[in-house]
Amino acid sequence: MRGPHNIIRLIRTGATLERTGAMGFILDAMEAPRALRVVARAMAWPFHWLGEAGDPSMPPAPRALNALGPAYIKFGQILSTRPDVVGAEVAQQLRVLQDKLPPFDTAIAKQMIHDELGQPVEEIYSEFSEPLAAASIAQVHKARLSETGEQVAVKVLRPNIERAFRRDIDAFYFAARMIELLSPSSRRLRPTDVIAHFEGVVTGELDLRLESSAASEFADNTKNDQGFTLPQVKWAYSGRRVMTMGWAEGEPLGDNAALDAAGHDRSALGARVLQLFLSHALRDGYFHADMHQGNLKVAPNGDIIAYDFGIMGHIDEYTRRVYAEILYGFIQKDYYRVAKVHFEAGYVPADRDVDEFARALRAVGEPIFGMDATRISMAKLLAYLFEVTERFGMETRTELILLQRTMVVVEGVARSLDPHINIWEVARPVVEDYIKSNLGPKAMLRDLKKTAAVLGRFGPRLPNLVENALTAQANSRPEAPKRRKRDLLYGAVIGGGLVGLGVFLSSLH
C-alpha cells in the first residue's frame, strides 16, 4: 500500500501548497524547469480544495508546512539549512518557521514518562510543570528531582510521532525520486540525498538517547572551554522517549535589555559565541548546528549556556583542514591558494582552469574586503563562494552547507549582540591557531604516527598479507616462480621496516 499512500499524501501536500500560495513561490525560488512547474501545478490545482488553509498571517512557505503537520515543519527547518536547494528567499522564510505548536496533555506526558522509566512521575519528580515549550517533535517541562532537589528540564516526545514521521518520510522519498525523474538538472542538488540527510537528523531526534549521547559527547569536547557550559544529562532519568537534563538558568542571549540589566558585556559575548563555534567546528569537527538565540542563555557568572542538541554537525578531519585553508586563504587574500585547495580536495572538477577559478574567487573576496570592517561578513563570503563553485561544477556537499548555515546563524547572533563587531578579526586567531597546529611539520609527524600505529597493529598479520598478495601476483605471471623467493624477501624487509617505524613513532609521545 506504500504507492497509493504516497500518492494520496503528496496530492494533499500539493493541494496545501497550492491553496496557501506556496507552490508557485517555491517553484519560482528554486528556478524549477518548465516541465516540473507544469506537472506540479497540473497535479495540485484540481485538488486545491483538499488542502489545508493554514494561518494566513504567515508567509506562504511556513504557512503551508505548519498546516501539514510536525513532519513537514521539521522538514522545513532542515530545508532552511539548504539555500542551495530551495533558494535564499525560501530558506530565509523557513528560518523563521514557528517552532511553537499546541502542546499535548500533561497527563499523557506523565504516562509516557511512567512507561519509559518504570516509575510514576510523582516518585521521580517532586515538582512537574505544565509544558513550557512545544515543538514539532517534543515538548519540555520544568521539574525538580525528588532524590536531589535539583531543578531539571524534562523533554518528552509527542505521542505516536515516530509512526507519523515514518509515513511522511516515505512520501518525501517518493517525491524526491519524481523530481529527479522529471527534472534531470535537479540531480546535481541530489534531492534523494537531502531526504536521506533529513531522515538521519529526524532519526536522531526521535530517539532521545541519541540526543543525550550527543549532549554528553559535546560536553566532553568542550569541558575546558572558558566561558561555556552545558546542562548535564541525567542518564538515570532518560530513555528513548524521555530526556532529563539540568535546568539552564540565565538570561536569553537574544534579550539585549536583560543582558544589559544583568551587567553582561555584549561585545565580549558576541566575540565569544563566534570563536566558540569556530573552535568546535575546526578543533573537534563536532558542532552545535542550531546555535541560535533560542538555544543559548547567559548564566549569572557570564558563561554562555547551550542546549537542545537535536541537530549536531560533523565534519571529518580532512574537510576541517580544507575549510580552514579556504578561510585562511581569504584572510591572506591568497586567491590562487584558495583555488588550489578546491582542486586538491576534488571539490571542483580537474578539467576546469585553476587560474580562471582564482580570478572568480578574487571577484568574490575583493568587494567584501573593501567594505568597512563592521560590514564584513564571513557568512556572505561563504554564500558567494558557493555560488562561484556551483558555476565551476562543484557538487552539493551537505556537511559544508550545514556548516555555512550555522555560520550564518552564529554571525547573526554575534551581530545582534554587537552591531560593530569585526567578524574577520574575531575569527582570525582561531583559524590561524588551527592552521599552525594542523598544517605544519608537527601535524605531518602526527599523521605519520597515526599511519604507522595502524600498520603496527597489523604487524602480526603483515607477513601473511604480504605473502598472500605476492603469491597472487606471482601466480598470475608465467615467470613468477623464479622471482617468488626474492619478492617474499623484499616483502618481509618492507613489512618489518613498517612495523618498526610504527613502534618507533608510537613511542614518541
Instruction: Please state whether 129 falls in left (phi above 0), alpha (psi between -120 and 50) or beta.
Output: beta
The single residue listed with the C-alpha cell 527547518 is: 77
Measured between alpha carbons, how far is 310 from 290 in angstroms, rounded to an integer?
8
- 316 included as an active-site residue: no
Whole-angstrom CA distances from 371 to 14, 275, 362, 376 are 44, 22, 14, 6
Say if strands 312-314 and 151-157 run parallel, antiparallel, or are unpaired: unpaired
Measured between alpha carbons, how far is 444 from 438 in angstroms, rounded to an integer?
8
Q: Which three cell numbers stand for residue 187?
A: 540531480
- Closest by CA position to 405, among listed 291, 326, 279, 253: 291
* Residues 205, 206, 207, 208, CA torsion sign: positive
DSSP code string of 327-364: HHHHHTT-HHHHHHHHHHTTSS-TTS-HHHHHHHHHHH
Check: CB of residue 153 under 8 Å from CB of residue 140: yes
Check: CB of residue 407 under 8 Å from CB of residue 277: yes
- Closest by CA position to 396, among listed 187, 188, 200, 179: 188
Q: Which three cell numbers stand for residue 411?
A: 554571525
Check: CB of residue 5 under 8 Å from CB of residue 35: no
Task: For residue 156, give the 3-state DSSP assignment.
Answer: strand
Check: CB of residue 66 under 8 Å from CB of residue 212: no
Helical (H) or strand (E) element with 424: helix 423-438
Candidate list 84, 168, 290, 418, residue with the active-site label: 290
Check: CB of residue 91 under 8 Å from CB of residue 80: yes
User: Could you tell me how many residues make up the chain?
Assistant: 509
Three-state SS string over 225-256 comes to CCCEECCCECHHHCCCCEEEEECCCCEECCCH
Check: CB of residue 276 under 8 Å from CB of residue 427: no
Using only C-alpha atoms, what is the Rg of the chain?
27
Check: CB of residue 423 under 8 Å from CB of residue 267: no
Any idea which residues carry the catalytic annotation?
290
